[in-house]
Chains A and B, each alone.
Chain A
Amino acid sequence: MQGPSFLDLVGFGPEGWGAALLMATGMTLAVATGGFAAGSVIGAGVAGAKLSRSRALRAFGDGYTTVLRGIPDLLVIYLFYFGGSAALGVVGQLFGADGFIGMPAFLTGVLAIGVVSGAYQAEVFRGAFNTISRGELEAARAVGMRTGLRLRRIIVPQVLRYAIPGLGNTWQLVLKESALISVTGLVELLRQSQIAAGSTRRPFDFYITAAVLYLVITAVSSYLFRQAEARALRGVRRA
């Protein structure tokens, strides 16, 4: 098979897709970060529900984590993509617009990743909360801290510290899940590779390049999480 060499294809020359692939890597990072952040908010809420005294809230929290961890991520993405478009269509009709209104792919990605990773992060937060000693919570209450202050000064700093390893695992899941968003047409790393593979007829070269770029992202982020963990635990005596 003759044609441009592998390095020409993925490089930055006239025939190269390097710039496009780097842009798409940025998009992957953006959608993963957005989804992870949304998931942190959802996860904190669901963890709060699972730890609450109200039986109804606990049941909701348990149901949420069981369901979202038990069904494929791809289904959730389809739900948000097609379901979101249908809902937008209904809203559009109210304002006199006809026809299909596509759900913005980036928003779909952030929402779908957020909802799924929220379930995983809820479990991480709940586990981290349970490592806080009861005595500290009681002491905070005894010196007169109200819920908000207790949360800010006592609970959140410690939960974050013990949640770092679990959050690191969830981040890796989110990164890999972001590849699934390519089915909605969002031009992230995998979709860009698909486009390049289609136009050059060199699928192997581009998918392997995508794999290497994903590998770089996961390797760098696991290094960063290890550093963060070491830093957060520097004041903790280990058994």
Chain B
Amino acid sequence: MDFTFLWETFLKLLSGVPLTLNLALVSTAFGALLAVLLTLMRLSSWRPVGWVAQFYVFVFRGTPLLVQMFVIYYGLGQFRPTLQAWGLWVFFREPYWCAIFALSLNTAAYGSEILRGGLQAVPHREVEAARASGMWGFLLYRRIVFPIAIRQALPAYGSEIILMVKATSLASVITMLEVTGLAAKLISQSYRAVEVFVVAGLIYLVLNFAITRLIALIEWWLSPHLRPAPTVSSGAALHHA
């Protein structure tokens, strides 16, 4: 084992972590907003709006993310004069924004399905009870529907965030030097694929483990009703501990 090489590789790959996290978090945030919009469209009482959302989900879940990225990064270059005329070219010529755009559009499709599942799992009796006590419209959603739906959707959304961290690696194909991009560069320079792979893999595992714990923490924080109620004895035990 060549530990100096492993350590140098680790330091080099570590410099890609901020970009990996940046891509994952920014696109998850944009994607979540779009996912909420899609979910509302899907649940709308006006059918054609729902069909549009359904078609969107079908297209983005049925095609590879890399193809979506290529359509946006390379494909839109075909319309450069038009995009320049509209002032959008500054945005689409940057691989960073193209990656963010593709990742957000992609995760929104998966996210909207997760949110829809969460919303549909809100018990009807709770909505009825809220209505009976005079809540309606946005208040009903803010106080009753969204908290329950988010709580129910959170585990699945957590896996989606992990998938997003993994998906950011595709940005390396459109020239972004995040962890996988740096790893590919190092492998082609040193031809030591196994060592670089082990280090890069370890970085992703640590990132994903940290995110899993964070989601578990949020889940715990959002479901106080599932935690055992504090009792006199447990409090006493804490004091003695």
Contacts and interface: CB of A to CB of B under 8 A. Distances in A.
B188 interface: yes
Contacts of A197: 74-75
Contacts of B65: 176
Contact of B188 (A1, A82, A215): A82
Nearest to A179: B64
B66 interface: yes
Contacts of B170: 72, 74, 180
Contacts of A176: 63-65
A82 B187 contact: yes
B46 interface: no
Contacts, number: 124
Interface string B55-87: 000110111111110110011111100000000
Given A82-B187, A190-B66, A208 B78 contact: no
B172 interface: yes
Interface of A is mostly: helix
Given A78-B197, A203-B78, A211-B63, A72 B205 contact: no
A72 B62 contact: no
Given A79-B193, A176-B65, A205-B78, A70 B208 contact: yes
A149 interface: no
B152 to A, nearest CB: 20
Interface string A200-222: 01111101101100110011000
Given A86-B193, A205-B78, A214 B67 contact: yes
A75 B74 contact: no
Contact of A75 (B62, B67, B200): B200
Interface centre among A72, A83, A172 (most CB of B within 10 A): A72
Contact of B63 (A72, A81, A201, A218): A218
Contact of B193 (A83, A190, A193): A83
Most buried by A among B67, B169, B193: B67
B162 interface: yes
Interface string A62-77: 0000110011111110
B97 interface: no
A75 B70 contact: no
Interface of B: 58-59, 61-68, 70-71, 74-79, 162, 166-170, 172-173, 180, 183-184, 187-188, 191-194, 197, 200-201, 204-205, 208-209
22 contacts: A1-B78, A66-B205, A71-B201, A72-B167, A72-B170, A75-B180, A79-B194, A86-B193, A172-B62, A175-B64, A180-B64, A180-B66, A180-B170, A190-B64, A193-B70, A204-B77, A208-B75, A211-B68, A211-B71, A214-B67, A215-B59, A219-B58
Given A81-B193, A190-B67, A204-B77, 17 more contacts: A1-B78, A67-B201, A70-B205, A71-B166, A73-B169, A74-B173, A75-B169, A75-B201, A75-B204, A79-B197, A82-B191, A176-B64, A177-B64, A201-B78, A211-B59, A211-B67, A218-B62
